């Protein structure tokens, strides 16, 4: 004949179950049953019809009036909802901090445009930030290209002002290592072309023949290179 004991937590939930065959000291335990056979001898894994804890680690049973009963779904769910979220992954926290720092350095030109282009994936997608603030000098990804907010053109991102359609707000980030980058419509003196600047436009190569050049290649101030 074996006696079955349970230990409860402060809320009366069953925290452990065992038989006197394995409990040299039953202090702090409550006897709930006794009998013969493996159910009573190895009560830990055989006495209760279901595991003592749910997959979330919440007690499934409680002691009420000296009897073990299964807790209601509502009681179990309340305990699950009260489980605190896991602590943030230190690696993810470090990566997030590094991304924020890289973006800030790129915005202030400490990180060059060349390096910004090489690490374009670190910048946010323009389409995911509708309604957010786009600061002057900040970089944004759109349609597999990298754009930068023009000087003095910080703004709230609007659905109709996509970087490829709002030349007054954005400029396509060009790689200074590229000898013939795609021509970008200048929006002012800050990004106008100087004499000798090289660009590609409409499948042709052009060299600027004018300083402060804001004209489209083929119209004025450019010489086609064949």
Q: Are residues 120 and 165 in the same domain?
A: yes
Per this entry, what is the length of the chain? 226
Percent of the chain residues topping a pLDDT of 90: 70
Q: Which residue do the tokens 């006897």 mark?
A: 31
62 — phi, psi (to 5°)?
-135, 160
**Cβ(138)–Cβ(166) below 8 Å:** no
| Domain coverage including residue 124 | 86-170
Quote the pLDDT of residue 59: 97
Report the phi/psi class of residue 109: left, alpha or beta, with left for phi > 0 and alpha for psi in -120 to 50.
left
Q: Are residues 65 and 14 in the same domain?
A: yes
The closest alpha carbon to 22, from 43, 39, 38, belongs to 43
Asked if pLDDT for residue 64 goes beyond 70, the answer is yes
Q: How do residues 4-56 score in pLDDT, each as one tens digit?
A: 999 999 999 999 999 999 999 999 999 999 999 999 999 999 999 999 999 99
Q: Are residues 96 and 158 in the same domain?
A: yes
User: Last residue of some domain: 170, 188, 204?
Assistant: 170
Q: How do residues 103-145 score in pLDDT, each as one tens digit?
A: 999 999 898 888 898 899 999 999 999 999 999 999 999 988 8
pLDDT band at 209 (very low <50, low <70, confident <90, very high): very high
CA of 27: how far to CAs of 11, 31, 48, in Å?
19, 11, 22
Q: Are residues 189 and 207 in the same domain?
A: yes
The sign one gets for the Cα dihedral 66, 70, 72, 76 is positive
Q: Are residues 11 and 46 in the same domain?
A: yes
Mean of pLDDT over the chain = 91
Number of domains within the chain: 3
Please state, in angstroms and rounded to a whole number, the distance separating the CA atoms of residues 97 and 91: 10
Q: Are residues 9 and 43 in the same domain?
A: yes
**Model's pTM, two decimal places?**
0.52
């Amino acid at each position: 004949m074996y006696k079955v004991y349970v230990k409860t937590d402060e809320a009366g939930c069953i925290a452990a179950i065992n038989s006197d065959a394995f409990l040299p000291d039953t202090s702090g335990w409550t006897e709930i049953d006794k009998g013969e056979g493996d159910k009573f001898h190895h009560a830990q894994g055989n006495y209760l019809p279901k595991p003592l804890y749910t997959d979330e680690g919440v007690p499934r049973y409680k002691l009420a009036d000296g009897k073990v009963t299964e807790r209601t779904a509502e009681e179990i769910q309340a305990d699950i909802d009260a489980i605190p979220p896991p602590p943030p992954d230190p690696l993810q926290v470090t990566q997030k901090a590094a991304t924020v720092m890289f973006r800030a350095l790129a915005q202030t030109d400490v990180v060059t445009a060349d390096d910004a282009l090489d690490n374009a994936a670190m910048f946010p997608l323009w389409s995911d930030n509708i309604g957010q603030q786009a600061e002057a000098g900040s970089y944004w990804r759109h349609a597999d290209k990298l754009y930068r907010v023009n000087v003095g053109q910080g703004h709230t991102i609007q659905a109709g002002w996509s970087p490829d359609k709002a030349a007054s707000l954005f400029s396509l980030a060009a790689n200074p290592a590229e000898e013939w980058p795609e021509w970008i419509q200048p929006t002012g003196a800050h990004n106008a072309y100087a004499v000798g600047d090289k660009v590609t436009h409409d499948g042709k190569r052009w060299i600027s023949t004018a300083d402060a050049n804001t004209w489209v290649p083929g119209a004025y101030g450019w010489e086609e290179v064949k």
